[in-house]
Amino acid sequence: MSSPKEIKKITTHTLQQMKTQGARISMITAYDYSFARLFDAAGIDVILVGDSASNVMAGHETTLPITLDQMIYHAQCVVRGVDRCLVVVDLPFGSYQSNPDIAVASAIRIMKEAGGHSVKLEGGEEVIDSIKRIVAAGIPVMGHLGLTPQSIYQFGTYTVRAKEEAEAEKLTRDALLLQEAGCFALVLEKIPAQLAKKVSLQLQIPTIGIGAGGDCNGQVLVMHDMLGINNAFKPRFLRQYLDLETQVTGAVQQYIRDVKSRDFPNQQESY
């Protein structure tokens, strides 16, 4: 009798080993079962159920409106599509900033109701007590520094962060604090490549960059951006691997023509 093939699951420890061995970590966002299944089968290391769902799934201008219940729904769908990769779920705006009790309660809901493997939250020193409480509850935490979209109304723009020395120094201090607090990895978003390199070398835990140059220990992209679902969004850091906007539009236009001309369905497509 043949035994079922054992699946080697990616854990936070795997990511740590990858950093130690100099192997790069691949991470992509997903928000539903179907894409999560494809990405997992393709061999991705980490799927992030990002609060970018607020933008790309719900059509909001910012990540602020998405709720914890909505994040749990997206995470439940993703977890059902995954056999192997690590699933990180964003704690949405308002679910952790007010105090550590609320933060740990939100993280527990993600683990219990969605089956997520870990959570991610934005910020440094300001959220350190919440991170410690979540880690103490046995929940792995990924940090997120640099451009933190939940603070967009404080920043005012989505431009590169930490170009000035004072902000770069704070980011470096925050990165070390997040590591000490027990984060297993750190997203560095839209900061100068040199700063990301320095932080990545200083830290023992892996860094995952987006718009942070090639010296982070891994890279993350939003799936809609790298698949070219919205051609109007082409920031410098993005590498677009498909042009789905053009391909999907063309396919649907062909389908409309086929229906209107009565070409579809033909005899082979009928019972």
Residues forming contacts to ligand KIV in the complex (CB under 6 A) are: 29, 48, 50-52, 90, 187, 189, 210, 220, 222
- For residue 226, the minimal CB distance to ligand KIV (Å) is 11
Options 6, 165, 189, 245, the catalytic residue: 189
Q: Smaller CB distance to ligand KIV: residue 240 or 268?
A: 240
Q: How far is the CB of 9 from ligand KIV (least distance, A)?
A: 22
Please say which residue, 104 or 147, places its beta carbon nearer to ligand KIV.
147
Closer CB to ligand KIV, 148 or 172, in the complex: 148
Please identify the residue of the shown chain whose CB is closest to the bound ligand KIV. 50
Asked whether the beta carbons of 53 and 66 are under 8 A apart, the reply is yes
Distance between CA atoms of residues 89 and 78, nearest Å: 10
Closer to ligand KIV by Cβ: residue 148 or 179? 148
> Quick one: three-class SS letters along 200-224?
HHHCCCCEEEECCCCCCCEEEECHH
125 flagged as catalytic: no
- With residues binned 3-state (H G I as helix, E B as strand, rest as coil), the percentages for the chain, rounded to 5, are 45, 15, 45
| Minimum distance, C-beta of residue 54 to ligand KIV, in the bound complex (Å) | 8
Which residues, 6+ apart, have CB-to-CB distance to 44 below 8 Å?
A: 26, 27, 28, 85
Query: Cβ of residue 181: shortest distance to ligand KIV, in angstroms?
Result: 19
Would you say 119 and 161 are in contact if contact means Cβ atoms under 8 Å apart?
no
Nearer to ligand KIV, 145 or 244 (CB): 145
* Interaxial angle between packed helices 193-202 and 165-181, expressed in degrees from 0 to 180 and rounded to the nearest 10: 30
Cα angle: 41, vertex 186, 229; to 5 degrees: 50
At position 115, the amino acid (one-letter code) is: G
To ligand KIV, the closest distance from the beta carbon of 20 in angstroms equals 23
125's tokens: 């020193």
Check: CB of residue 63 under 8 Å from CB of residue 31: no
User: Any idea which residue has 């679910």 for tokens?
Assistant: 95
CA angle centred on 73, ends 37 and 75, rounded to 5°: 45
Category of 233 on φ-ψ map: left (φ > 0), alpha (ψ -120 to 50) or beta: beta
Nearer to ligand KIV, 181 or 222 (CB): 222
Least gap, CB of 51 to ligand KIV (angstroms): 5
CB 31 within 8 A of CB 49: yes
- So which residues are the catalytic ones? 189
